[in-house]
């Protein structure tokens, strides 16, 4: 998901096996998702476990999952990036990475793992064309397999 979609999530958006992405925060304002289409996003078992643990701190059923200190507005993802994510990335030599890089990594790793390209693109809110042309890169292993049995 995009950062603005994540911070717009409410506990009521979480279903048993997915999250409903039907809004986002962009430049501090609540808005529709980037492509204007609500979508269901599958959540991994690890994310579901983490959210279940985090749920103990929620104040209301329809509360934001990631609120700011006043509990009425979402946390600013720019602050999360600067305070939490960027320092951790820097420690492992990824100070250059950004949210787009994380989405590209997700796209590339999902493809390398054999995930259906359309399903993966839908989960991120991309068209298949954008997902394949802009976000997904082939791994060296995939390239090697492609030419392994190739003959002229």
Global pTM value: 0.80
* Alpha-carbon span 146 to 152, nearest angstrom: 14
Cα distance between residue 28 and residue 18, in whole Å: 25
* Residue 80, C-beta contacts closer than 8 angstroms, at least 6 positions apart: 3, 66
Higher-confidence position of 5 and 34: 5
Confidence bin at 143 (pLDDT 50/70/90)? confident
User: Is the pLDDT assigned to residue 50 strictly greater than 90?
Assistant: yes
**What is the model's pLDDT at position 152?**
65
Q: What's the helix, strand, coil split of the chain in %, to 5?
A: 50, 10, 40
Average pLDDT score, the chain: 88
Q: Could you tell me if 23 and 8 are in contact, meaning their C-beta atoms sit under 8 angstroms apart?
A: yes
SS3 108: helix
Mean pLDDT to the nearest integer, 50-77: 87
């Amino acid at each position: 998901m995009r950062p603005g979609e994540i911070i717009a999530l409410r506990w009521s958006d979480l279903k048993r096996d997915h999250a409903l992405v039907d809004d986002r925060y962009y430049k501090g304002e609540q808005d529709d998702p980037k492509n204007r289409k609500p979508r269901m996003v599958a959540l991994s078992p690890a994310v579901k476990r983490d959210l279940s643990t985090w749920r103990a701190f929620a104040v209301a059923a329809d509360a934001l999952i990631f609120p700011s200190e006043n509990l009425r507005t979402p946390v600013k993802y720019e602050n999360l990036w600067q305070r939490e994510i960027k320092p951790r990335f820097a420690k492992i030599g990824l100070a250059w990475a950004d949210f787009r890089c994380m989405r590209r990594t997700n796209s590339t790793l999902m493809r390398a793992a054999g995930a259906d390209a359309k399903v993966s693109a839908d989960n991120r809110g991309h068209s298949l064309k954008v997902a394949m042309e802009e976000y997904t890169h082939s791994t060296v292993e995939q390239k090697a397999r492609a030419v392994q049995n190739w003959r002229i």
